[in-house]
Amino acid sequence: MNIFAHLIAERLNIAAKNVDGTLALLDEGCTIPFIARYRKERTGGLDEVQIGAISDQYERLKEIQKRKETILKTICDQQKLTPELEKRINETWEPATLEDIYLPYRPKRRTRAQVAREQGLEPLAQLLLMQRERDPERAAERFVKGDVKDAEAALKGAQDIIAEQVSEDERSRQTVRSAFRRQAVITSKVVKAKQDTDEAQKFRDYFDWHEPLRRCSSHRLLAMRRGEAEGILRISISPDDEECVERLKRSLPPFQGAKACRELLEEAVEDGYKRLLKPSIETEFTNLSKEQADDEAIRVFAENLRQLLLSAPLGQKRVMGIDPGFRTGCKVVCLDAQGNLLHHEAIFPHPPVNHRMQATVHVQQMVSDYRIEAIAIGNGTASRETRAFIEDTIKSLPSPAGEGSGVRLFVVSEDGASVYSASKTAREEFPDEDVTVRGAVSIGRRLMDPLAELVKIDPKSIGVGQYQHDVDQTKLKQQLDQTVMSCVNSVGVNLNTASTHLLQYVSGLGPALANNIVDYRRENGAFTSRAQLKKVPRLGPAAFEQCAGFLRIPGAKNPLDNSAVHPESYKIVEQMAADQGCTVADLISDKDRRKAIDLKRYVTSEVGLPTLTDILKELEKPGRDPREQIEEFEFAKGIETVDDLEEGMELPGIVTNITNFGAFVDIGVHQDGLVHVSQMANKYVKDPNQVVKLHQHVRVRVLEVDRRRGRISLSMKGLN
């Protein structure tokens, strides 16, 4: 069994054998989606979240193991490594405890205590600790020599040694760490010189703020840290200093009657706490609280990204994409059902140009010429006005393409479209078009398949997180990439239409193999079977095993090639069909034949009931898209700016972002409103994700409009 399996099993409360099976698969290079979907027998049916947690713990423990090796080597080189110390280090898996053990041996710059030791004052420090000297100053005179000018300097040096010993003592550190954990308060104060500046106003809530650190939410801590980084706030974390010092004094050797020695000792303890120990533990808790806040912010961002990527697709329809604007006009593109650009032009239906009639004629002509089935309008500047114009334009289309023509109208999030339009990817796709055309294409394609289009954009630019530039960027990228991979593989990918960017997130592929697949497709035509993947350069057996089950081939000769059934299980399905006296296609189309299958007959040492159950479910709806159906939405008529809002109004809205403290909702006034978590339902809500999802259509009530700060407070109580 893997040496880390029991540790991880204990931390995550998962059976050790399931953890061990998962670690073995990870070591074999299997991806999390592949393990969760196709190796349930070896993991005990763990899901992606559990497997991801095991993977994270595994990486942490491997890092700690590396750190231990460095520590052991350093202490060994100092010839101070005893069998007891080595055993203790090997048995320790808590980073803070490990560093406490190492602290006395860790190479450090020249400290006051080190200087005192070089001056020969360590014996004097020991005399003070023994507390037997009635006149410590007289005892100190014996150490006056060289750089030690007098008894006072000698005593001060001895106190420096004791202060450092206190700060490096394991029990002392645990005492102070425990106090920080129980009672530390985080305090935020405004820098007086910045108090009245405009940039400081967004941090006004934290000009004079304090609360227990253990209760400080992720978003508040990150807001304060951002204010600190911008030089507007000063942040400190502190426990009850007096209590900490008193507890440290109680850990001194018992009082031996030498009052003067005791006083010097207690002064050293207080100095060690304030100068060395407290700053060290404060830094530790500053880093720890920031790490925890980062993890929570990243978790929220990843969940929002998951919901956005899995937004309902319109599917393969002929779409008109519109990037709305006033002065520069609206950029219009027409796309075929595969998302290819057929036509583009600019129209100017709004002020200051006001060519409304001409724009109407052009839009109607494009709808007719390119047989447009749906229209996607970006949700940025001039979105509401453009929607109203398009609605009027569609209504006035001549029969049979009038109101009953079936042309559907949708407003689509523009977040990240400008990033895509200026990217290398967009330039490669549309080398002859400018950024405005590329942006409109992105808007149109997002309606058809949000997942396929959004994978082309850095997730940080999509706009569904908070403080994404303040958190650990390596962790953020890793988590968001993992989220994108999870979404892509849960939906499945059409092998013959997927872009390089979509393919690279398929389990086992990556950028190089994704490029090779597209190149092979371009040279040899569409894939007709999954088996053809083995002919793609550098796509070996391991990569094929990882990717094949997530790739779909609509219309393939073998219907299983358009399903989530892995090629390694084709023989099982074929045997099921043979036992029922039919073909695989018949098995898929005939519910009664599937019901007659006794799965226990097909259990082997490698394939158990979990896999067989998944196969049967997939045969019911092969290649089924797990995403929901898209819904049309319309904002309230006549409510277009913040000035149109009044307290008490009830309005339709779209959830645009979800945080730990609530959800932001677009109500069509170019400024999202906040539904605080306390206003989400007529009951206590711990997690906003339990109530709303990204892009959900909701009804809200206006509670307050703060025009100066640009804030709109909303409520959902009793409305949904």
Q: Long-range contacts made by residues 397-400, C-beta under 8 angstroms, separation at least 24?
A: 397/364, 397/367, 397/368
> Residue 712: CA atoms inside 13 Å, Cβ hemisphere, count?
27
Angle between helices 95-102 and 48-77 (to 10 degrees): 0
pLDDT for 399 equals 56
CB atoms within 10 A of CB 546: 21
* Residue recorded with tokens 């999509």: 462
pTM: 0.86
The pLDDT of residue 404 is 45
Type of residue found at 109: R
Q: What angle do CA 303, 307, 311 make, to 5 degrees?
A: 170
CA distances from 249 to 243, 271, 565 (A): 10, 12, 68
* DSSP H or E segment with residue 256: none
Give the helix/strand (H/E) hosting 591: helix 591-595
Closest by Cα among 412, 240, 313, 353 to 625: 313
The residues, any chain, with a CB within 8 Å of residue 22's CB and separated by 6 or more, are 35, 42, 43, 46, 51, 54, 55
- HEC sequence for 333-375: EEECCCCCEEEEEEECCCCCCCCHHHHHHHHHHHHHHCCCCEE
For residue 146, which amino acid is it? G
CA distance 379 to 668: 9
CA dihedral 483, 485, 486, 488 (to 10 degrees): 120
Residue 258: the pLDDT is: 79
Angle (CA) 30-35-38 rounded to 5° is 120
Q: What is the pLDDT of residue 246?
A: 95
Q: Which parts of 348-458 fold into alpha helices (H)?
A: 356-369, 383-395, 417-421, 424-429, 435-448, 450-454
Contact 359, 389 (CB under 8 A): yes
Q: How far apart are CA 675 and CA 662, in angstroms?
A: 6
Helix 278-309 and helix 170-183, axial crossing angle in degrees, nearest 10? 50
Spans in the chain with pLDDT lower than 50: 401-404
Whole-number pLDDT of residue 132: 83
8-state DSSP, 393: H
Give the type of residue at 14.
Answer: I
- Of the candidates 257, 252, 240, the residue with the CA atom closest to the CA atom of residue 133: 257
* Sheet containing 341-347: order of strands: 341-347, 330-335, 319-323, 374-378, 408-412
What whole-number distance in Å separates Cα of residue 493 and Cα of residue 176?
A: 54
H, E, C per residue of 515-562: HHHHHHHHHHCCCCCHHHHHHCCCCCHHHHHHHHHHEECCCCCCHHHH
> CA-CA distance, 360 to 386, in Å (whole number)?
11
Q: What values do phi and psi take at 286, rounded to 5? A: -60, -45
pLDDT of residue 514: 97
DSSP 326: S
Tell me how far apart the alpha carbons of residues 281 and 174 are, in angstroms, rounded to a whole number.
10
